[in-house]
Amino acid sequence: MFDLDGVLTPTDRIHETAWEQTLGPYIAERGLPPYTVRDYDQYVNGRPRLDGIRAVLEARGLHPDDDTLHALGEAKNATFLRILATDGTDSYPDAMALLSFVRTRGLRTAVVSSSANATAVLEAAGILGQFDLVVSGITAREQHLAGKPSPDPYAYAARQLGFGTGDTVVIEDAAAGVTSGSAAGAIVVGIDRGAGHEALAAAGADVVVTDLRDLIPEMNDAR
């Protein structure tokens, strides 16, 4: 079971830009410490959109009401979709190598993402057909699942695939996602694309790698 942004596709960069363009001006207008990439890593990455907004603002002493949360969330989403439509996205070569490895061995695959735009991103990257299941932010809303770091998304995905979570492997790049998979009882691989080995291990990753091809025996032997 793969997370999407930052694991399969480099769309975390688009998210970072969209968050900066949305929350940066809102925070600056109030004379508060500016929004930075650290906010994305600490409060936003891997979490449902509204939870991320709330965490960033509460860290600055703000307590936004629901209308504010939803307005900022819609603005961020519109910015993300605009950038995605203009720039598109590709996929990480190491993730595609691992995906091919598991698919050719008959293993079932899923994407488990907090993003409501997961299907659109997978289509833009041309890899939607490589997955038996997509659990997105829309799925979470429809199925009343708590978002990451809750175990709900991964536990739900495992059930839909017909497995107990102990028989699944989760691939995550964010601490919140690692915590989610670990709490669900899955084997969790942290892919360090910037979060840091220590942070992923502390969140519950069973193993941390810097390249997903390290999980492929014959490729790892040759590296």
Q: Examine the domain organization and report whether 58 and 100 are in the same domain.
A: no
Is 211 a known active-site residue?
no
Query: Per residue in 168-215, pLDDT tens?
Result: 999 999 999 999 999 999 999 999 998 999 999 999 999 999 999 999
Residue 175 within a domain: yes
pTM flag (> 0.75) = yes
Instruction: Give CA–CA dist 38/19, Å, rounded.
Output: 12
What pLDDT does residue 41 have?
86
Q: Is the pLDDT of residue 8 over 90?
A: yes
Are 147 and 73 within 8 A, CB to CB? Answer: no
Mean pLDDT, range 46-69, rounded to an integer = 94
Is 67 a known active-site residue?
no
Query: Per residue in 150-165, pLDDT tens?
Result: 999 999 999 999 999 9
Q: Examine the domain organization and report whether 110 and 132 are in the same domain.
A: yes
Q: Examine the domain organization and report whether 97 and 79 are in the same domain.
A: no
Residue 4 within a domain: no
CATH code of the domain covering residue 137? 3.40.50.1000
Are 55 and 43 within 8 A, CB to CB? Answer: yes
Strand order in the sheet with 207-209: 169-172, 187-191, 207-209
Which is the catalytic residue, given 3, 39, 41, 51? Answer: 3
Nearest to 215 by CA among 107, 94, 111: 94
Are 37 and 52 within 8 A, CB to CB? Answer: no
Query: Per residue in 70-115, pLDDT tens?
Result: 999 999 999 999 999 899 899 999 999 999 999 999 999 999 999 9
Q: Is the pLDDT of residue 148 over 60?
A: yes
Which residue type does 94 have?
D
Q: Examine the domain organization and report whether 47 and 108 are in the same domain.
A: no
CATH code of the domain covering residue 46? 1.10.150
* Strands (E) located in 57-214: 110-112, 133-135, 169-172, 187-191, 207-209
Q: Is the pLDDT of residue 48 over 90?
A: no
What pLDDT does residue 12 have?
83
Residue 6 within a domain: no
Domain that holds residue 145: 93-222
What pLDDT does residue 223 have?
53
Q: What angle do CA 30, 47, 192 make, to 5 degrees?
A: 110
